[in-house]
Amino acid sequence: MEANALTALAASLDGAFTRALDTLGGIAGRVVVTGMGKSGHVARKIAATLASTGTPAFFVHPGEASHGDLGMIAREDAVIALSNSGETHELSDVIAYTRRFAIPLIGVTRRAGSSLAEQSDVALVLPSAPEACPLGLAPTTSTTMMLALGDALAVALLERRGFTASDFKELHPGGQLGRALLKVTDVMHKGDDMPLCRLHTPLSDVILEMTAKRLGCVGVLDDEGVLVGVITDGDLRRHLKPELLAERADSILSPRPKTIRPKALVVEALREMNEKQITSLFVIEADRPLGVVHIHDCLRAGAA
């Protein structure tokens, strides 16, 4: 029954949905979402989804609004009010407040002739569909449609704003989502922490640099600062001989080192290192090193 209602909801979307997007996308303030009972729980979720996808939003309880929380609603804001019947008594003060101060009001209801629909600047009317409850009373189908409509508004606004994965990461720094969107520049070693040397650097100094930076490699630069090679601890072992310390970096370096671009995700760097069976990648821009990322950095960031 709920699935059928969602299909009907999708088919019913019309110019009102576009007007709602224009309203929400045109305000200078935030989106305030409100509702009572089960509609209130859905309103909280819609507010959270809007906020996490680039549209500043928060929930206001209509009962608390009548006792001072109306002050949380500014004149630059817009209000989305959810009520299946459109006659929820607790919403009356919020509706009156928006009318008094010309705050845009978007009503979501199943009754086109209800007080909420008539007072709203934009009324999003849900199609008539029975509740999935055997008694036909408990909010089930109606709240599912409200939730889907809220998601549709949030995603459409996300697309309008050009909200990117990078923006998403800024709002989701914690949890698996945040870790999955980390860039190599977020975890790389840079500046004085980068193990670097020149082509003519004695290998005795290269070993000291590798030991001090503890990444198992040293990037080799030419006179222009371009990364031309890399020396790993494996290279040192393979070339081990009594006179090794007297030689220079260019005598044992591995040319064309594996590198990665600054905007690459940590998960991409980890995959590259696993495929190439290496433990470090230099992050470069215009052939010059910005940093170096080690496989342990990726694992600590939770990219695995």
pLDDT tens-digit series, residues 236-294: 988 888 888 889 999 999 998 999 999 898 889 999 999 999 999 999 999 999 999 99
Q: Number of C-alpha atoms within 13 angstroms, CB side, residue 176?
A: 1
Residue 174: per-residue pLDDT: 65
Mean pLDDT of the chain: 92
Residue 218: per-residue pLDDT: 96
pLDDT tens-digit series, residues 131-178: 998 888 899 999 999 999 999 999 999 999 888 777 776 776 666 666
Residue 304: per-residue pLDDT: 61
Q: Is the pLDDT of residue 112 over 70?
A: yes
Q: Is the pLDDT of residue 104 over 80?
A: yes
Rounded (5°) CA angle 114-17-177: 115
SS3 state of residue 143: helix
User: What distance, in Å, lies between the first and last C-alpha atoms of the chain?
Assistant: 41
The answer to whether 225 and 282 have CB atoms below 8 angstroms apart is no
| CA–CA distance, 151 with 24 (Å, rounded to integer) | 14
SS3 state of residue 230: strand
Strands (E), 60-207: 78-82, 105-109, 122-125, 196-198
pLDDT over 70 percentage in the chain: 96
pLDDT tens-digit series, residues 34-92: 999 999 999 999 999 999 999 999 999 999 999 999 999 999 999 999 999 999 999 99
- How far, in whole angstroms, is CA 273 from its chain's centroid? 25
Residue 172: per-residue pLDDT: 66
Sole residue written with tokens 């470090």: 280
pLDDT tens-digit series, residues 215-236: 999 999 999 999 999 999 998 9
Residue 130: per-residue pLDDT: 92
State the pTM of this model: 0.66
